[in-house]
Amino acid sequence: MPDPQSRLCGPRRIVCLTEEPTEVLYALGEQDRIVGISGFTVRPPRARREKPKVSAFTSAKIDEILKLEPDFVVGFSDIQADIAAELVRRGVEVWISNHRSVAGIIDYVRRLGALVGAGGRADAWADELQRGLDDIAAEAARLPRRPRVYFEEWDEPPITGIRWVAELVRIAGGDDVFPELAAESLAKQRILADPLEVARRAPDIILGSWCGKKFRPEKVAARPGWDAIPAVRDGELHEVKSPIILQPGPAALTDGVGEIARIIRDWSQKARLP
């Protein structure tokens, strides 16, 4: 249950421009502070029923947000810079986080919790999230072999996975085949100039999460020159739903990494068969 004292601390009317602050605040029992959410929010499901939807990702209904009289707006990344700037010009306090790593997500939970007077509960939950990752890493360490993994977050053009995704693949027991691109924060910097580079790096598993549209493994398998990729040859093309992996929030550290770990475990069992 929320600490009654937390009601005296921090902002009381919060608009969340992305899903992760909504998920965090609900988990901490501070959902009554939320007055508006992103239209892309799916976690928790009740948020879509309870809160007005006032933004997409790159756009927002500024006038609708202002009607909600927020005293704090939370967004994510440079992609929402224009939204943030307009709200600031209109007198609203805005926090744009820009975390891109697993450690950054855990720290985000702590910071957002502290901002609403729920620092103790946020710290406890962040510690729990870290323990969950540690347990997955310990199990992954017992795998006989680590698969090479290609993660694709968009198909036209092909865009490789962002840093926290590559880190979660590693925690789950695999090795991202484009570690140098994972370090790039912007999607345009992770576009593959030559899709055949995937074939040259020969991933054992291909994971697709096409940012809001269904992953089509048959389309991936039909790409010119990809038929010899181990993952294509062995049918190891899997979708990881974007809401559980492409949001830099708790979902990625729980359901997202859990799904990746399951796929890698299944691959490992098949790889050991004669």
Say what the pLDDT of residue 5 is. 47
3-state secondary structure at position 141 = coil
Q: pLDDT digits over 39-75, tens only? A: 999 999 999 999 999 999 899 999 999 999 999 999 9
Q: pLDDT digits over 227-259, tens only? A: 999 999 999 999 999 999 999 999 999 999 999
| pLDDT above 90 for 176 | yes
Structure tokens at 31: 């959902």
| pLDDT above 80 for 93 | yes
Say what the pLDDT of residue 57 is. 87
Mean pLDDT over 2-29 rounds to 85
Say what the pLDDT of residue 271 is. 75
Q: pLDDT digits over 210-222, tens only? A: 988 999 999 999 9
Structure tokens at 259: 């799904």
Helix-strand-coil percent breakdown of the chain, rounded to 5? 50, 15, 35
Amino acid at 264: I
Q: Under 8 Å CB-to-CB from 210, ≥6 apart: which residues?
A: 152, 153, 154, 155, 242
Return mean pLDDT, the chain.
94
Pick from 42, 102, 98: nearest CA to 74: 98
Q: Kindly report the pTM of this predicted structure.
A: 0.93
| pLDDT above 60 for 6 | no
Say what the pLDDT of residue 185 is. 86
Mean pLDDT over 253-268 rounds to 98
Say how many C-beta atoms besides its own lie within 10 A of residue 176's C-beta.
Answer: 24
Say what the pLDDT of residue 148 is. 98
HSE-up of residue 87 (Cα within 13 Å, Cβ side): 32
Say what the pLDDT of residue 8 is. 63
| pLDDT above 70 for 132 | yes
- SS3 of 76-90: the string is ECHHHHHHHHHHHHC
Q: Under 8 Å CB-to-CB from 128, ≥6 apart: which residues?
A: none
Q: What are the Cα distances from residue 185, in Å, to 13, 79, 161, 174?
A: 30, 11, 10, 21
Mean pLDDT over 15-28 rounds to 97
Percent of the chain surpassing pLDDT 70: 96
